[in-house]
Homo-oligomer: A and B are copies of this chain.
């Protein structure tokens, strides 16, 4: 689907950088069933909550200015997605991110189509200043966030993940956040280390809000690994890639893929996950 990724294909396999086995992380997350506060867009609300429930986490969609900060102290992690914006919601996002920071909880930023309008550009700049632990976006979003020229127009990426790798490294270096670029082959970097994750299905971009849902799943792993956002991001992306690949094999189209992905997430066994995950180190070109 895209240009083959550059760099080594050395399989990392079942050990995530940081020392945990991938299957163990899934088991640990399910046991903890972390409460994830998701401020996401109207399109993603339902499917994101269902992705978290299917995987084993506990979603809570709490965004109002009057309660978002208070709730962030209760939740294990926060995710903020700017897909459908309005001033009230942006105020709630700021409160929530402040609350998470004060409580020492990690938060994840999903800068949906931030390059499309001046309102989005302003909003994402304000949120980046609140130091997310992780930024997850598609290639166009990450390229534009790093200051590059992206081919994106709407919410779909017009660029390949491979073309966004340098931007991701640069953005991670500048902000201190782990940057996860998702697409046909995912790329995750903390500015120094980087991995690629293969898997998923060509049906994924045909179903709306799966990227947004993945952001929430990243939050679930950030909640159980608050000190290691790099490992948390890799775990969430690898799980989504394996479940997506399994779902894709038995789906007839985007409609069936939507619910089969949920079934696959719920059925995912730690051993099968480790066997099927394809994580490789990405050596800088």
Contact = CB atoms under 8 A, between A and B. Distances in A.
Q: Can you tell how many copies of this chain the complex includes?
A: 3
A54 B117 contact: no
Given A266-B254, A266-B255, A53 B208 contact: yes
Contacts of A262: 253-255, 258
Nearest to A52: B208
A42 B64 contact: no
A113 B60 CA distance: 9
Interface residues of A, number: 60
Given A42-B45, A86-B88, A208-B46, A154 B254 contact: no
A74 interface: yes
Interface string A8-44: 0000000000000000000000000001000001111
A175 interface: no
A156 interface: yes
A85 interface: yes
Contacts of A156: 58
A46 B47 contact: yes
A260 B258 CA distance: 11
Interface in A235-285: 252-256, 258-264, 266-267
B117 A62 contact: yes
A71 interface: yes
Contacts of A171: none
Given A46-B46, A60-B154, A208-B59, A67 B259 contact: no
B253 A60 contact: no
A47 B45 CA distance: 11
Given A61-B83, A117-B62, A209-B49, A263 B252 contact: yes
A207 interface: yes
